[in-house]
Amino acid sequence: MSINLLPTERAAIHHEGVECGETLADQLRYAITATLGPLNPQPDVQEVGAICFGDVQPTAAAKKVQETFAEKARVSPIDFVNANPGASLSIVCTELQLRGPTLHFLMGGDAVRETALILAFRWTTEESAEVVVVAEITMVNGRRALDITLVRRRGHNIREVFIYG
Amino acid sequence: MGWETPLGDDIATVWQALLDGASGITFVPCPVKIRNERAAPVSSLANLGPRERFTEMVRRAVGRALLNAELRGSFGSGEVRTALVIGTSHGARLDDPISIAEPPDAWLRGIAADYDFLPIALSTACSSGADAILVGAALIRSGLFERVVCGGADVLTHAKRKAHSTLGTMATSELRSFDVNRDGTLLGEGAGIVVLEPECHLHPSSALGFVLGCGAANDAAGLTAPDRHGRGVKLAVRRALTDANLDAQDIDIVNGHGSGTPTNDVIEAAAYADIFQTKKPILFATKGAFGHSLGATGALEAISVIQALRDRKIPPIVGTSCRLPECTLPLPEAGCQIQGARFGLSTTIGFGGFNTAIVFGGTEA
């Protein structure tokens, strides 16, 4: 079972050593901005959707909630909302004002990648979105990699890979 | 369809309890101080810890859904390619040390392996259950899967209750969806599962309803705050209507998110007022009966919409007595009948701005 990504400019451009902050949200925002930026004309942000998946989830924030609750019988509201798996995607949508459909998968792998692309093609075809950012997040040798595919209603799809750290 | 709810686990029995105006919200002690110790637990699993309770709710609801769909014994052969798509907000990860050490999808892999289903886990806060159905519908339409078992689940835990108490989103007394006197939500737990198959594979008498269209949109307003103008809700509903090839005036009933928080309900009600300007569908909500079951709520509400279209009845909104002035849609009274209703809408709104809407058709749609 496979998805035909063509027509796609499969330019795997490695942005090695990009330092733009320590959080996943910062890195995700940079990758999305860098990939969307060259599009001409620019898509309406109301019609830009995003799907995130991979093996990076906010475990540290969830652990902090658990430990603080166990030790102090308290929960920080900030830690609680940051422990939401979709928090990074939400932050990026807020900063870039993206109002397309959004989804966050709790896992990575071929099946989820395929599912994400099916959704992206569907959303662009049914006109829920002009562009859908499909972001796969993985750790490669201790460094975070963001594999970004822009699925577009019109024009070529675009793929870029960002490696941080 | 199958569900585990604070009112029980049998579809017909729980549905009748909803029609009778019953509520599963009860006193549930919490070891730390919170605004309100009322919540909606699945009492049959009260002796289990969060991780076991969460997994067991999913396992039971999946099993019941397959049983109700008369699909026993047809798994593992590879003849019917099936995906198991389940959404949750946090599951047990905020309270259970083992859960936090496991991969975030570990709870689903064991259940999927029992049936030889392909597991897909997602999380979009309180829209998780609805988004799992959205994903399931897309996979069916793609032709890559002949069957998708999908829905949502979440577990009531002390840390979540404390968090909502601290956030100020917890009600001081009752959960009153779309009511003038609402002041917050009360948490619940549960699981809701539906089995999706392509229409062409179904025997006409076996279909309970149809997923006609799905839409989603982000509020782009922050991690907890909804968009004050309700743009995300309106976009999600309009995208779902477009996907279903229907107009707003075609919708007969709406199951609203109706969390009971002061901000959410007024924004949601105003959004419906804007969308449904000519014909006014009946608006109902189930959180006064089930509590706010977070990642499960979208799936429980989807099942409620399908049941309403099948039974041609709508349950009253438990806890609501004085409708919000911004709410222009009629609310159901006890014993509300909806003869001739064909299309229903379910809307969910989640932290992080995740809005999802699904249009369902009854079997006579």
Instruction: For chain B, positions 177-236, list CB contacts with chain A under 8 A.
Output: 215-224, 231-232, 235-236
Q: Give the amino acid at A1.
A: M
Q: Look at residue B204 and tell me whether its pLDDT is greater than 90.
A: no
Phi, psi of A91 (to 5 degrees): -60, -45
In this structure, whether the domain defined by A13-57+85-164 belongs to CATH 3.40.50 is answered with: yes
In tens, the pLDDT along B22-44 reads: 999 999 999 999 999 999 999 99
Task: Evaluate if residue A48 carries a pLDDT over 50.
Answer: yes
Judge: A99–B94 Cβ closer than 8 Å, yes or no.
Answer: no
| Residues of B classed as catalytic | 126, 257, 292
pLDDT in tens, B182-198: 999 999 999 999 999 99
Q: B125 contacts in A (CB within 8 Å)? A: 84, 86
Q: Name the pLDDT band for A165 (thresholds 50, 70, 90).
A: confident
Give the confidence band of B315 by pLDDT, cuts at 50, 70, 90: very high
What pLDDT does A119 receive? 97
Residue A7 has pLDDT above 90, yes or no: no
**Is residue B86 less than 8 Å (CB to CB) from chain A?**
no
Handedness of CA B34, B36, B291, B236 (dihedral sign): negative
Least CB–CB distance from A83: residue in B31, B90, B220 = B90
**Residue B189 has what pLDDT?**
98
Does A75 contact B105 at a Cβ distance shorter than 8 Å?
A: no
User: If you measure CA to CA, which chain B residue comes closest to A132?
Assistant: B217
- Distance between CA atoms of B319 and B51, rounded to whole angstroms? 31
- Of A18-32, A62-76, B342-356, give the lowest mean pLDDT range: A18-32
B76 pLDDT more than 90: no
Q: What is the 3-state secondary structure (H, E, C) of B273-288?
A: HHHCCCCCCEEECCHH
From chain B, pick out residues whose CB is under 8 angstroms from the CB of A126: 239, 242-243
**pLDDT band, very low/low/confident/very high, at B78 (cuts 50, 70, 90):** low
Q: What is the structure's pLDDT at B201?
A: 81
Nearest to A88 by CA among A18, A146, A150: A146
pTM comes to: 0.95
Where residue A21 falls among pLDDT bands split at 50, 70, 90? very low
Q: What is the mean pLDDT of residues B303-312?
A: 97
Q: Measured between CA atoms, how close is A13 to chain B, in angstroms?
A: 28
Strand partners, B346: B255, B358
* Cβ neighbours around B286 below 10 Å, total: 27
Q: State chain B's mean pLDDT as an integer.
A: 95
**What does pLDDT average to over chain A?**
86
Q: Spell out the alpha helix ranges (H) of chain A.
A: 24-36, 59-72, 77-82, 87-96, 110-125
> What is the band of B200 on the pLDDT scale with cuts at 50, 70, 90?
confident
**pLDDT for residue B296:** 98
DSSP state string for B122-141: E-BTBTHHHHHHHHHHHHHH
Domain boundaries, chain A: 13-57+85-164
- CA distance, residue A29 to nearest chain B CA (Å): 13
Report which residue type is found at B5.
T
pLDDT of residue B206: 84
Q: Is A137 exposed, middle or buried (0-12, 13-18, 19+ CB in 10 A)?
A: buried
Is the pLDDT at A13 greater than 50? The verdict is no
Task: Report the DSSP beta bridge partners of residue B26.
Answer: B39
Return the residue in B30, B58, B93 with the most chain A beta carbons within 10 A, the one to mutate for interface testing: B93
**Would the pLDDT of A3 be above 60?**
no
Q: A residues 72-131 near B, CB within 8 Å?
A: 73-77, 80-87, 89-91, 93-94, 96-107, 111-112, 114-115, 118-119, 122, 126-128
